[in-house]
Every structure is written in structure tokens, then in C-alpha cells.
Amino acid sequence: MASNGAGDDGSLSGAEAHGLRYAAELEGHVRWLDTFTSAALGVLATASGIYTYLGVSSLLGQSGALGFFAAMAYSIAVSVGIFVFWSYLMRLLPAVRTAGARVGLILSMALGSVAIVAMSSWLNAAALAGSAAVEQHMAETVQDYQAALERANEIALAAQGLELDVARVRQSFQDLSEQEATGDLSGFAGRGAVFRVLTQKAEELEALEAQIAAQAPLVTQAFTEGNELLRDMRALTVEQGSIEARSVEFSERAVRLAGLIAQLRQLSVAPLVERAAADLAQSVVLPALDGGNAGTQAAQRSTIDSVLDVLGQRATTLAAAAQEVAAMEPPAEVAYAPISAADAVIRYAGNFVPSWAGAIAIDLLPAVLVFILMVVQAAIRSGRAPVPVENTLTLAELRGAMAAMRQMEASMAVPSAHAPDPAEVPPADPGARPVVVPKSKPGGVA
């Protein structure tokens, strides 16, 4: 029969003895590590609970007793849950031997790890990088406001550039009126009906030009104030101090800046020029022809018709320029929304990868210890597997087994003080041979 690798006399082979020594050495290390593993796990769970408390406090935003006890209760629950969860896995996962049980516990560990990240790690990240994440949110908001302010100013300046187009058209009508006054236009010198039509449109365009010029200082002032507010907002982004107080001041300046951007959009004169161009050709008050005879009046009518044609062309050109400015893409709508540290950490998670890594590692580091114990327990079992159980007893186990045997023998032995009464002894079988017990000789030899 097979002897499981042992000799015929029950002795162990060299490989088996080496495996036993290897397993015993690993077991000694595991016993020593067990003396402080629970304490280390408790420290990790407590640290996670502290950062969770800070994250919950920033999320609740309450400074009273109710907020304190709510945050404390949540952090204690997280610490206890982490400690119990990893304690279960450190004991059970390395001990199971079947593949099904191991896979089931690993899946349970994965599910529990997701739950720990959901209830603790993101709050730890909020405590580690919450202020920096809110500052990141403020900095990006400043960039959005700056882009909107510059775009609104660009559109307003482009609209102010229409002043040159209006001035050019106005100058052309003034030149025509001067020609008419000298008789170079209709052939009749004087300030008659044609002169009055040309002067009327030149005055309308001059009034429009003056209105556009009056908007220029307002555009410059709004843009200057907007840049000053942007400078203050950038300073608040990098200042020292409480992020909550800075966020309040930042919000106030953001509201004022949004108002300035809206004002710049309203200061654009492109719609005004477009309407004026439409009225330029349509609202013409034709004066009575004041020619002395029919020939003169016919010449005046012909000149006025030519002037109206030119007026329509100038109006079309001016309207096209105004429409081009009005068609420019408006600035994006920007509104600063205050955000909590926890929400900021999630929104800008890509910018705070180290903080997220530290927050998750402090919660999931025990998973590494679980896998280490799995490997060590598997190595211990492989060292003991080829050796029969009776050959793996330690000296302490052998002493315990011998003590148990003595107790069993003592309990099975019949004391002499309780020898049976002869009257109670059943009669002997007649066919049985008597048993002769030899008397012992002196010295204890039968």
C-alpha cells in the first residue's frame, strides 16, 4: 500500500520535512503579524472616518450641534463598517479552499469596495482637495466671464465701427447738397427742393452719427469696470482664508460682472443703424417742386428720383454692414453657481487624481493584506498537504494527546473500592473453564 511519501516505518522524507518546516515558519510569521493587524486596521478605519467627517461637515454646511452629531454619526458608521468588512475578509477569504467559495468572497469584496468608495472615499477626497477644487471652479468661471466680456466688447466695438459707414454716407449727401447749391447737380443753382431732400438725409445721418459717438465712452467704461471686477475675482481665487467667505465675495462680483456684460450687449448700435438704414430710403419727405417753369420742375423731379436711387443704394449698403455686426455670435451666457467642496471634487476629479488616489487607498489598502494572507495560507497548505496528519503533530499537540489518553484510561478503569458484591455476581457458566489467577510473588513478579 502507498505510504503518502513517508517511509515504511512512518518516517518523513526530506521534501516532506522541508515542507513542514516551511509551513511552520510561515505560520509563525502569520501569528506574529496577527498581534497588530487588527490595531493597524483600526487606525486605517479611524483615519478614514476623520476625513469622512470633514467631508460630511463641508457638505452639510451646518455649524450647530445637529450638524456636528450628524457628521460624527456618519463618520463613526463608516469607520465601523470598514473595520468589520475587512476583518471578515481577512479571516474568511484566506481560509476557504474551494474555487466557488473563493470567487464568491472575491465578488463580495469587490461589491463592498464599491460601497466604501461611494460612502467614504469621495468624502475623503473632498476633505483632502475640497478647497482646491472650489478654487478650480472659481478660476474656470473667471475664464468664462473673461471670454464673455471680451466677446461683448468686441461686438460693441464692431458696432461702433459703423460710425465710419454712417459718416461716409452722410458726407456723400452733404457733397451732393453742395453740388446742388452751386447748380452742378440739377443744373439750377439754389437751395430748392433737391437741396432740401439732400440736406434732410444728411441731417438724419448726422444725428445717427452723433448717437453712435455718444455710446463710445459708455462702452469703454463698461469694459474697464469689467476688467477691474475680473482682477478682483482672480485675486479671490488665490487668496488665503476660508473658501466659503471668498466664494460669497466672488458671487457678488460675478453678479456685477454679468450686469456689465449685459450692458455691453445693449450698447451695441448695430440694431439702431439697421433700423435707421431702413428708414433712410422709406421715410423721405418730398418737398414741393419750386421750379419757375415746367422744365425746371421736370429737372428737379428727375434729380430727386436719382437722389432716391442713390439713397436706396446707400441704405442697402449701410443695412448690410449693420446686419453683419448683428449676426456676430453673441457672448456665451455665464452664471456663477456656488458649489460645495464635495461636488467640486467630483466635477473636477481629473485635476485631482493624487487626492482621489489617496482617498481611495486609505479605504481599500486592506484588500492588499487580504490577498497577501491568501497567498501565505495557500503556501502553508501546500507545505502540509503531502504529509499525513499524524506526522504533523507538534510536541505541544502530542503532549495534549497523551494527556487526553490518560484521562480516557482513568475514566474507563474500575476502582477496587467499587468491586462487585459476590452475591451480585451472576452464576458462572457450567461449561466455562475456571480462570486461575496466579498469586504475585514478592517483588511484584507473577
CATH number at 157 reads 1.20.1260
CA distances from 124 to 21, 119, 324, 341, 362 (A): 45, 10, 53, 11, 9
Q: Are residues 155 and 125 in the same domain?
A: no
User: What is the C-alpha to C-alpha distance for residues 119 and 360, in angstroms, rounded to an integer?
Assistant: 11
**pLDDT for the residue numbered 3:** 43
CA dist., res. 161 & res. 377, Å (int): 82
Residue 26 burial class via C-beta count within 10 angstroms: exposed 0-12, middle 13-18, buried 19 and up = middle
Cβ(303)–Cβ(217) below 8 Å: no
Cα distances (Å, whole numbers) of residue 219 to 142, 164, 249, 255, 437: 21, 17, 25, 19, 133
Q: Cα-Cα-Cα-Cα dihedral of 228, 232, 234, 236, to 10°? A: -170
pLDDT at position 2, please? Answer: 41
Look at residue 230 in the predicted model and tell me its pLDDT.
92
Domain match, 106 and 160 both: no
Question: For residue 355, which of 50, 45, 42, 51 has the smallest C-alpha distance?
Answer: 51
Task: Tell me the C-alpha distance between 31 and 29, whole Å.
Answer: 5
Q: Does residue 444 lie within any of the structural domains?
A: no
**Given 337, 359, 374, which residue is the final one in a domain?**
337
Confidence (pLDDT) at 164: 85
Say whether both 381 and 329 belong to one domain.
Answer: no
- Asked if residue 240 and residue 369 are part of one domain, the reply reads no
Q: Which three cell numbers stand for residue 221?
A: 467704461
Residue in this structure with the C-alpha cell 450692458, named with its chain if needed: 263
Best CA proximity match to 369, nearest among 93, 125, 46, 112: 93
Scanning 239-328, the segments in alpha helix (DSSP H) are 243-266, 270-282, 294-326
Can you tell me which residue has the cell 498581534? Answer: 35
Residue 293 belongs to some domain of the structure: yes
The 3-state DSSP class for residue 328 equals coil
* 10-residue stretch averages of pLDDT, the chain, 446 residues long: 46 63 78 89 91 83 77 91 93 88 92 91 84 88 91 89 82 72 59 68 82 87 91 88 85 90 87 79 53 57 67 78 84 84 83 85 90 87 63 65 81 59 50 44 41
Same domain for 241 and 328: yes
Distances (CA, A) of 445 to 124, 422, 435, 436, 438: 84, 27, 19, 16, 10
183 and 324 both lie in a single domain: yes
**Of 270, 302, 337, which residue is a domain's last?**
337
DSSP-assigned states of every residue in 111-156: HHHHHHIIIIIHHHHHHHHHHHHHHHHHHHHHHHHHHHHHHHHHHH
The Cα–Cα gap between 185 and 308 comes to 14
Measured in degrees and rounded to the nearest 5, phi and psi for residue 337 equal -115, 115
Same domain, yes or no: 316 and 366: no
In 3-state terms, the chain is what percent helix, strand and coil (to 5)? 75, 0, 25
* Number of domains forming the structure of the chain: 2
- Do 299 and 364 belong to one domain? no
Q: Is residue 420 part of a domain?
A: no
Three-state SS for 230?
helix
Domain assignment present for 219:
yes
In a domain, 169, yes or no: yes
pLDDT of residue 56: 84
235 and 370 share a domain?
Answer: no
The contacts of residue 350 (CB under 8 Å, 6+ apart) are: none
Q: Are residues 180 and 255 in the same domain?
A: yes
Same domain (yes/no): 63, 124: yes
In a domain, 1, yes or no: no
pLDDT digits 0-9 by tens, 9-25: 455 566 666 666 777 78
Same domain, 119 and 24: yes
Q: For residue 444, what pLDDT is reported?
A: 42
Assigned domain for 192 exists: yes
- Picking from 327, 321, 309, 310, the residue whose alpha carbon sits closest to that of residue 212 is 321
CA separation for the pair 35, 93 (Å, rounded):
19
Final residue belonging to a domain, choices 304, 337, 370:
337
Containing domain of residue 87, as a range?
16-130+351-388
Buried b (16+ CB within 10 A) or exposed e, 32-54: eeeeebeeebeebbeebbebbbb
- Does 371 reside within a domain? yes
Question: Are 320 and 168 within 8 A, CB to CB?
Answer: no
Strands (DSSP E) found in 4-101: none
